[in-house]
Structure 1
Amino acid sequence: MINKIGKITVYVNDQAEAKDFWVNKMGFVVKLEQPMGPTMTWLEVGPSEDEFTTLILYSKAAMEKQNPSAVAHPSVLFSTTDIDSAYEKMKANGVDVDEMQRMPYGTMFSFKDQDGNSYLLREDK
């Protein structure tokens, strides 16, 4: 049956701004970028070249025309092995981060992308 998550679509206002955020502020790499018709680009980014799972940075305006009900923002939880280092690096890169939360089951914090969408980064114990 299903054995892993392949792709998560994030609907963005501007693909170039989203690419800049994920690549230059978050340290992701471009996994695939190719034209998709005359005015659109298929753009996938991931945490590394070796990581299977990617984020598809898809035009929100295009999807609103194709399927308006699909544009709700997904809840995405990222994982790290060094939450303190990730927090400091994201702050230094100008990422909008919330305060660190230290819980018995793990340490985490929320952050926002270039469009104000919220994500969670967590280090599990």
Structure 2
Amino acid sequence: MINKIGKITLYVNNQEEAKEFWTKKLNFVVKFEQVMGPNMKWIEVGPSDSEFTTFVLYDKNLMKSQKSDANVLHPSIILSTSNIDDTYNELKNNDVNVNDIMKMPYGSMFSFKDQDGNEYLVREDKY
């Protein structure tokens, strides 16, 4: 039985820039990092050491060279927070490109872009 979301692969232009973005601007931690060959590194980041789900930061060009028909378009990802205002202000203070908070009948959310221009949505959820 599947009971957790394990990993979400983000295809990035530069793994080190992506790692810096997630760890320095969003305060994620590196959960796993290992050289996997002469031109490949496996990097996983997550919101905390105790969080199971991680983002795998995978090089777009490497994936295309390994599998020419691979779809390296950015996935749709919704991140969760229990306090939308604090999260919004933290990201904005860290110079993250954020859009205005949208207050909808079904919840509050905002979008932001990473170092490669990929867009993510942050939604307030009650835990």
The interval holding the TM-score normalised by the smaller chain is over 0.9
Counterpart of 2:115 in structure 1 is 114
Distance 1:94 1:19 in 2: 16
Q: Give the number of aligned pairs.
A: 125
Shift, 1:69, TM fit: 2.8
Shift, 1:39, TM fit: 1.6
Counterpart of 1:45 in structure 2 is 45
Shift, 1:116, TM fit: 0.3
- 1:105–1:124: 8 Å Cα contact kept in structure 2? no
Residue ranges of structure 1 left out of the alignment (5+ in a row): none
Moved over 3 A (4+): none
Spell out, residue by residue over 1:75-119, the C-alpha distance to the aligned partner (whole angstroms, 9 max, x if none).
000000011000001001010001110011110000001100000
In the superposition, the TM-score normalised over structure 2's length comes to 0.95
Spell out, residue by residue over 1:42-66, the C-alpha distance to the aligned partner (whole angstroms, 9 max, x if none).
0000000000000000000001112
Distance 1:80 1:17 in 2: 24
Counterpart of 2:65 in structure 1 is 65
In the superposition, the TM-score normalised over structure 1's length comes to 0.96
